[in-house]
Every structure is written in C-alpha cells, then in structure tokens.
Homo-oligomer: A and B are copies of this chain.
C-alpha cells in the first residue's frame, strides 16, 4: 500500500466518521515521565476505531456490490461497525454471530440495523455460515482485520494523530486481529518522522508476540483475558506489514490491564474498554522505553458493559 492510498482512504471516509479528539493529562505524563497523546477512538461513532475500516471497505465496493450487501462474522465491535457503516451508506449488513454471544452484543448490532444470523459457536461454523450467506445473497464478505481496505481505514486514526503531532517518537496500539496495528504502522511509516510503532498484547493471548518471533502466524490455545477484543489472531494480509514496520510488542498481564484501565477512567474521566487499556498498560510496564519521548496512544474503543466492571 502506498502513501497515496492512505491519503485517498482518509478523504473517502472523512464525511462518515469523527476526527476524534486527542486528550492529554499532566498527571499521567508525570507517572510515565513522557508526553502522552491519547487519540480517543472511544469517542468515534459506535464507540470504536473499527468504524473507520468498515466504512472504507464498503465505500470501495461497486454500486452493484453495494446493492447485494456485506457480510462478516464477528461478535464484537466490528459487527456493530459494519452494521452502522452499512446503514449510513444504505447497504444491507449480514452479521454472523455465535448463538452463545451475549444479548447485549446482539442488541447493539440490531440497534444499528444489522441482520444477525446465528450459528454454532465454533470458528468453522462461523466461516461456513458466512460462505453460505455470500452464496445465497451475493453479499461481499468483509473480514474484521485481514482486509487491506479495512487496514487502511484503521490507519487513519494514526494519520490524524500525526497531523496534529507530526513529531511523535512512538505510537502504541493494542494488538488483536492485527488490523489496527498494521494500519497504524503504515501511517507511522508514511506520515511520521521516524515514528516507531509498538504493540501492547495480553500475555494470555500473545499470538502476535510469538508470531513475530517464529516468523509465522501463531494462534492462541486459550483466550483467558479481560481484553475480549484481542482474542483473534493475525492474518496473511496484515502479518507481513506488522513484520516489516512494527518495532516490538510488549506483553502485559491481566492485573496490569485492569490497573491501566482504572487509571484512565479515574484520571482522564473517559470510558474505555479493557482492550484499549492494553496499550497504556504496555507503556506503564516498560517506562524506560518511553522516558522523555512524545508518545501517541490509540484508545481503541469504549464499549463496556457497565454492569460488569473489573474494579
């Protein structure tokens, strides 16, 4: 992907997404001994950066394709993002979700007018059902993270961060399926001035950390983390970008994630989901790397169940 592709992507999605605010905190700066710039994608439409990639992917379809709709399998933020992006653009969205998904997540998709198709709670069943929807309806499949249009869209958050603060030394993001970190890495490469990209990942689902070590895409045997947006693994589209442009991945434990989340809630007065706290937890864990640096941190989303908080 070229610099021009990202510039075009940003122009394309700008009418449909928010240029989210960048918050700072003297107290958190003091704790880390660095200048921190939090790009608040929790204030993005539907509450997460995924709105960017979903919007770009739909806008890249032909009129013929748009008429037939889009389909994805996700039980998280991408399901809501694709539903809302599709609704905004007058396109039908089919969302394949495991029957075991929490009612609150099903309700969120319905609120944005997504059509839910339930399946058995296995990865195979999800893929099979998504294939069937494609065959039956002609809808275009859009992967939540392993799709170059999605990756470019996610990269626009970092583009906007660098537009306001071009001299960032490092940008830190959470790592799940790899779409955000791959897009961020491209944006930092093309628009930063020697800006490094570092990922934060829970020890409990450290597939990306292990993938960078082994040189092939690794998966997680168990996914026992509070950061429920980060349980997925990398794909063949984003992994090469991550290998090429990401400096390193810092792993954090569950207590560190909860403590970082609590600090951001208490001190910045913003509601962020546990997956978002992983990037800041990485900064807190390895303060020496960030000391005296200008550091961008992408707060990926704010969709939490208020009845089920870890504090």
> Chain A interface (Cβ within 8 Å of chain B)?
21, 23, 42-43, 47, 262, 265-266, 268-272, 302, 306-307, 309, 311
Q: List 11 A-B contacts (CB under 8 A).
A: A43-B269, A47-B269, A265-B306, A269-B270, A269-B271, A269-B272, A269-B302, A270-B270, A271-B271, A306-B311, A307-B311
Could you say which residues of chain B place their CB within 8 Å of the CB of A302? 269
Could you say which residues of chain B place their CB within 8 Å of the CB of A43? 23, 268-269
5 new A-B contacts, CB < 8 A, other than A269-B271, A270-B270, A270-B271, are A21-B21, A23-B43, A43-B269, A47-B269, A271-B271
Q: How far is the CB of A95 from chain B (nearest CB, A)?
A: 20
Which of B262, B269, B306 is close to A309, meaning CB atoms less than 8 Å apart? B306
Task: Count chain B CB atoms within 10 A of each CB in A42, A262, A269 and give the residue with the most.
Answer: A269
Q: How far is the CB of A37 from chain B (nearest CB, A)?
A: 14
As for how many copies of this chain the complex holds, the number is 2
Which of B21, B265, B307 is close to A271, meaning CB atoms less than 8 Å apart? B265
Q: How far is the CB of A189 from chain B (nearest CB, A)?
A: 30
A136 to B262, CA, bound (A): 41
Q: How far is the CB of A48 from chain B (nearest CB, A)?
A: 10
Smallest CB gap from A306: residue in B: B311
Could you say which residues of chain B place their CB within 8 Å of the CB of A271? 265, 269-271
Smallest CB gap from A26: residue in B: B45
Question: B269 contacts A306, CB within 8 Å?
Answer: no
Smallest CB gap from A45: residue in B: B26
A262 to B306, CA, bound (A): 8
Could you say which residues of chain B place their CB within 8 Å of the CB of A311? 306-307
A274 to B265, CA, bound (A): 15
Smallest CB gap from A47: residue in B: B269
Could you say which residues of chain B place their CB within 8 Å of the CB of A266? 306
A271 to B302, CA, bound (A): 11
